[in-house]
């Protein structure tokens, strides 16, 4: 069976721009990490139960791939999709660390949706897949579009390609399992501030390397300080010149800086 690649991502910057009901609106530069990825493929099975094969700490119902299946089936009501998942398991060669701010779960979900669209000839457009993916998680649309670099805004549904040179990115992930909802809650309660429109415009247009040259780790990512408050061990793992991805716990640096 054909293998499909689900790349990790880092957030060059991540700024909170406001609130929409219970969701935080963001502006962020997402960049794919070309040297870190999971691989997904279908394998035949005998049991009709939905099955994911891979190194996951969550149960099947909590897995983003299963959530993507439910969202897709609710959208298209496909007997072919149901039949596929009764006869085949999703096999995941897992390399992206979980709870790490690298988007592994979202990337897996997006890749699964694209796999089903291709294998079953569903004919869904990228925009249609992104709408379905957003039901699974805020980061999924970025991975659906597959841009190397993009400005992501709203609650994750607005993904705009950003043209720049490909970046060589190194990541390191300390053994600290971080809760994204708790980090956002700490930000909201203790550090809440909204991005000024002038700075937002500047960040949208500025190349990633220039952003990292100008911004330190705290200024680049609004979630670093609340994450540090909740998980003090993050300070032990920090090395000067590295940056924080998403809500963590991963740090990254770009070659040449």
Residues labelled catalytic = 9, 139
Task: Look up tokens 């998403």; give the residue.
Answer: 246
Question: Using CA atoms, how far apart are residues 192 and 25, in angstroms rounded to an integer?
Answer: 12
125, 162 contact by CB (below 8 A): no
Question: Using CA atoms, how far apart are residues 72 and 116, in angstroms rounded to an integer?
Answer: 9
Question: Using CA atoms, how far apart are residues 108 and 143, in angstroms rounded to an integer?
Answer: 9
| Tally of CB atoms within 10 A around 193 | 9
| Tally of CB atoms within 10 A around 252 | 25
Burial class (CB in 10 A: 0-12, 13-18, 19+), 59: exposed
């Amino acid at each position: 069976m054909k293998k499909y690649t689900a790349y990790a991502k880092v957030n060059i910057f991540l700024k909170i721009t406001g609130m929409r009901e219970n969701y935080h609106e963001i502006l962020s530069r997402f960049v794919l990490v070309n040297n870190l990825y999971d691989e997904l493929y279908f394998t035949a099975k005998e049991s009709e139960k939905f099955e994911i094969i891979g190194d996951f700490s969550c149960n099947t119902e909590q897995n983003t791939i299963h959530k993507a299946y439910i969202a897709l089936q609710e959208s298209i009501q496909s007997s072919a999709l149901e039949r596929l998942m009764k006869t085949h398991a999703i096999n995941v060669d897992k390399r992206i660390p979980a709870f790490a701010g690298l988007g592994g779960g979202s990337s897996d979900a997006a890749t699964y949706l694209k796999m089903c669209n291709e294998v079953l000839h569903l004919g869904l457009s990228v925009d249609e897949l992104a709408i379905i993916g957003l039901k699974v998680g805020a980061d999924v649309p970025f991975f659906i579009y597959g841009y190397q670099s993009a400005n992501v805004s709203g609650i994750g549904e607005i993904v705009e390609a950003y043209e720049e040179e490909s970046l060589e990115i190194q990541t390191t992930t300390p053994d600290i399992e971080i809760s994204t909802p708790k980090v956002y809650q700490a930000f909201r309660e203790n550090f809440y501030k909204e991005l000024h429109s002038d700075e937002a415009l500047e960040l949208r247009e500025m190349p990633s390397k220039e952003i990292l040259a100008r911004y330190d780790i705290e200024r680049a990512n609004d979630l670093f300080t609340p994450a540090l408050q909740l998980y003090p061990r993050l300070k032990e793992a920090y090395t000067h010149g590295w940056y924080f991805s998403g809500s963590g716990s991963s740090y990254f640096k770009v070659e040449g800086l």
